[in-house]
Structure 1
Amino acid sequence: MRIKSGYWLVAGTLVAGIPVAKAQSSVTLYGIVDAGVSYINNVGVATAAGAAGRPVRYLNSSRFAFNSGGDYGNRWGLTGKEDLGGALSAVFRLENGFNIGTGALKSTGIQFNRQAFFGLSSTSYGSLTFGRQYEAITDLVEAYGPAFVGGIGTYAGDVSNFDNSIRVNNSVKYRTPLYGGFSGELLYGIGGAPGSLNTNSTLSAGVNYVQGPIAAGIAYLRLDNSGATTNAWSGSADGNFGSSVTAGYAGARRVQIATAAANYTIGAVTLAVNYGYTGYQPSVYSSFKRSVSYNSAGVGARYVVSPALTFGGSATYTIGQSVADGASRPRYQNAGLAAWYNVSKRTGFYVYGGYQHASGSTLDAYGNVVAATASIGDAANGLSSGSGNQVMVNIGMFNKF
């Protein structure tokens, strides 16, 4: 109840004392289009269906394909702002993701799958918004994490949400104004279950600091799930269970993620260090029966050769707890390189390359203990390897409008 009361207190502070004024409003159309080609090897193609006690059998195959959104997710959106006077504004954002290759919605049945929110913004008191929104990891930490060289560079399966795999429905978010380089955020996703504040709810908080050559952030994300279907997710936030790294944990009662990342810029070079913790707590409907956690860490660097040309690289390591008695711990080593060439302020080209090696044991979606397989970042979710190694290369171009 303290969280809920705090939001209404902030809302009252923002609304109090609004003078009557002639409103000035604006609506802006924006977006990004990104297309290219990709190559990924050792894609696991199922040759026999799985079930509890019978793992899926895979045949590895290489894949060369059109790639929609290899660097930036394709999107278009509308932002709106109305001046209410007294440094207070009404604001909204509606943002849709789509496949540039087919024109289809990125998420079937969701018109504005990326963001959809409305609220108040004050230069003195911060902002209070309501809707489908990003949580604190994405807002305050992601820019300094392993994905700063692209999705290929992030942790295996994007296990700690450093590449925006999670958005929160029915959420209330308060974002502070900037104070001496610091800004903070608190978000609560309402589960809507009668008689309970926690059921299917989401809680996220974080703070970052940007001043001179230093940029750093820390954030926490807690997701609750009360689904009554085996290995299924029904929380107020999106689940991230599309890769072989995380597939066995979709029925978790609670997922907790804590992240920290920092960048330091020296002239044309930016150095990065990052850390992520992800913990899964079982329920009676989960395929796993003991709490399991993953710890990840990474380093990276980016070199701006000229306003047009930039190079980047990163390396990460992820290790999980044993998923069953006698099972070896899952381990993932990932390395990525990237280059960008901008021909204008809005248009550019990119090339990414990544390699990942997996070892140890993990769980599949049916709760079977299986060999851990590679899954390069968020860029390859749904295209996990059928073995312990995977290589991915993306080449493409983008335009921001």
Structure 2
Amino acid sequence: MRHSCAFTVLLVTSSTCLAQSAIDLYGIVDVGLRTTSGLGANNAPTPSGDTRAVSSGVDETSRWGIKGRESLGGQWAALLRLEGGINADTGASAKSDRLFDRLAWVGLATPYGTVALGRQTNLLADALISVDPLGKRDASFNPNINIAGLSNTAFGTHALGRQYGPSGYADNAYRLDNTVKYSVTEGPWQARAAWSAGEVAGDASASSSHGVALAYQRTDWAVSGATTQFRSREGLPLDAWTVGTAFHLDAWQFKANLARNEADTGAGQRVRQRVRSAGVSRPVGQSLLITTAWYSVRREASGFADDGFDRGFLFVEQTLSPRTTAYAEADYTVWRGDAAGLTKSVPNDRHGAGLTLGLMHKF
């Protein structure tokens, strides 16, 4: 009888512990049939001609991850997040050198805010979440992700050409290793601060980054902005900022954002980039959402003619179930200056267009 009682107590205790902690597996698989003109399968400019491809992550980036939370009592909790990108058209990891290329951090939630340590998005990316006109859709082709958020600046003659901050990749500082991020919410205000260690022996500032972000969000409108400075291994600075707003008017939602960054890329060499964007979305009925957005990118670089591009998007999304969405996407790009570049000495088309029919499932 004594053993039976002890076993019962153990089960009750275990149940209580399990109720206070949770580990969840989650993900998104997004695959579409895409046809383009003047763009390659990876959306790079090409000479005139059509391309057809099966593409991953046109609506939302295909990914998988693990998130966990364990209550420590009161308002304290331990947190963890591991997330990796997937090329769902091939089954390969988005980054061959990293299993969790998107996120890998552990944190502590307290009554005074949350602290997280590990690989995380930069504060520019965080600030864009609520104000990007596309809602951060089509991440590989969205100028706010690539230019404002610094996910991919490696195109044309104005590429940064080096690594800024501890991202692990040249022309990409969207996610940073070795990052300590603090966030606190007080009423409608949310403040963030982050610092990323470059871990270069003898030089604490080399390959590092630091920044702050502030957002104010009400039921019908929000303002969000951030500023961050990155350093290359040689100590060259990259300064960036972004600020945007979003507001509802009846069923309509409007968003606009302005971002700018400036980098020293060598002795007497500098690259400046500016992104202006605006968009509107509206639900139609209970399950259809229409979103349009326009982006204007202008770039300057020492020794080169100014360039840039204008790009428009249209997304039509049909919710089939709480986890499954069918969508159609259309985009059109006009390249400015010599941004389109050359392919084997042949000028690329100065216009690019794409059309995607896709299906996205979340789990």
TM-score bracket for this pair, using the shorter chain length: 0.7 to 0.9
Q: Aligned partner of 1:187: which letter?
A: A
Calculate the TM-score normalised by the size of structure 1: 0.73
Aligned equivalents of 1:322 and 1:171: distance in 2? 30
1:195 and 2:183 equivalent? no
User: Aligned-pair distance for 1:399?
Assistant: 1.0
Aligned equivalents of 1:145 and 1:157: distance in 2? 9
Does the CA-based 8 Å contact 2:130-2:224 persist in structure 1? no
1:17 matched to which residue of 2? none
Could you say what secondary structure the match of 1:158 adopts?
helix
2:62 to 64, 71, 74: 74
User: Aligned-pair distance for 1:127?
Assistant: 0.6
Return closer, same or farther for 1:330/1:337 CA change in 2, 3 Å cut-off. Answer: same
Matches within 5 A, 1:123-142: 124-142=111-129
1:112 matched to which residue of 2? 100
Return closer, same or farther for 1:317/1:59 CA change in 2, 3 Å cut-off. Answer: closer
Could you say what secondary structure the match of 1:78 adopts?
strand
Does the CA-based 8 Å contact 1:35-1:396 persist in structure 2? yes
Does the CA-based 8 Å contact 2:241-2:259 persist in structure 1? yes
Q: Aligned partner of 1:311: which letter?
A: I
Q: Aligned partner of 2:357: which letter?
A: I
User: Aligned-pair distance for 1:58?
Assistant: 6.7
Does the CA-based 8 Å contact 1:156-1:318 persist in structure 2? no
Aligned equivalents of 1:398 and 1:392: distance in 2? 18
More strand by share: 2
1:213 and 2:175 equivalent? no
User: Aligned-pair distance for 1:100?
Assistant: 1.6
Could you say what secondary structure the match of 1:151 adopts?
coil
1:313 matched to which residue of 2? 292
User: Aligned-pair distance for 1:390?
Assistant: 1.0
Q: Aligned partner of 2:277: which letter?
A: G
2:329 matched to which residue of 1? 352
1:168 and 2:176 equivalent? yes
1:278 matched to which residue of 2? 261
2:85 matched to which residue of 1? 97
Does the CA-based 8 Å contact 2:31-2:56 persist in structure 1? yes
Q: Deviations over 1:222-272 (max 9, x none)?
A: 221126xxxxxxxxxxxxxxxxxxxxxxxx933222111111101210011
Matches within 5 A, 1:175-254: 175-176=183-184, 178-226=185-233, 253-254=236-237
User: Aligned-pair distance for 1:303?
Assistant: 0.7
Q: Deviations over 1:57-81 (max 9, x none)?
A: 9744422101111111111111111
Could you say what secondary structure the match of 2:92 adopts?
coil
Aligned equivalents of 2:327 and 2:150: distance in 1? 20
Which runs of at least 4 in structure 1 moved beyond 3 Å after TM superposition? 57-61, 162-165
1:338 and 2:346 equivalent? no
Matches within 5 A, 1:146-161: 146-148=133-135, 150-151=137-138, 154-155=142-143, 158-161=146-149
Aligned equivalents of 1:87 and 1:322: distance in 2? 50
Aligned equivalents of 1:157 and 1:180: distance in 2? 28
Q: Aligned partner of 1:280: which letter?
A: A
Could you say what secondary structure the match of 2:126 adopts?
helix
1:38 and 2:15 equivalent? no
2:360 matched to which residue of 1? 398
User: Aligned-pair distance for 1:157?
Assistant: 8.0
1:259 matched to which residue of 2? 242
Gaps of at least 5 residues in structure 1 are 1-20, 46-56, 228-251, 361-370, 375-384
Does the CA-based 8 Å contact 1:149-1:338 persist in structure 2? no
Gaps of at least 5 residues in structure 2 are 1-15, 153-171, 342-346
Q: Aligned partner of 1:145: which letter?
A: D
Aligned equivalents of 2:150 and 2:249: distance in 1? 24
Q: Aligned partner of 1:182: which letter?
A: W
Could you say what secondary structure the match of 1:138 adopts?
helix
Does the CA-based 8 Å contact 1:154-1:162 persist in structure 2? no
Does the CA-based 8 Å contact 2:145-2:151 persist in structure 1? no
User: Aligned-pair distance for 1:162?
Assistant: 7.7
User: Aligned-pair distance for 1:335?
Assistant: 1.3
Q: Aligned partner of 1:292: which letter?
A: V
Does the CA-based 8 Å contact 1:68-1:101 persist in structure 2? yes
Return closer, same or farther for 1:400/1:44 CA change in 2, 3 Å cut-off. Answer: closer
User: Aligned-pair distance for 1:163?
Assistant: 7.1
Does the CA-based 8 Å contact 1:70-1:395 persist in structure 2? no
Q: Aligned partner of 1:91: which letter?
A: L
Aligned equivalents of 2:49 and 2:210: distance in 1? 40
Q: Aligned partner of 1:393: which letter?
A: L
Does the CA-based 8 Å contact 1:35-1:67 persist in structure 2? yes
Matches within 5 A, 1:369-384: 371-373=338-340
Could you say what secondary structure the match of 1:26 adopts?
strand
Q: Aligned partner of 1:171: which letter?
A: T
Q: Deviations over 1:100-154 (max 9, x none)?
A: 22221110020111101002012x2111111110121222323311332723773
Does the CA-based 8 Å contact 1:44-1:60 persist in structure 2? no
Could you say what secondary structure the match of 2:93 adopts?
coil
User: Aligned-pair distance for 1:305?
Assistant: 1.2
1:302 and 2:281 equivalent? yes
Does the CA-based 8 Å contact 2:61-2:138 persist in structure 1? no
Could you say what secondary structure the match of 1:90 adopts?
strand
Aligned length: 318
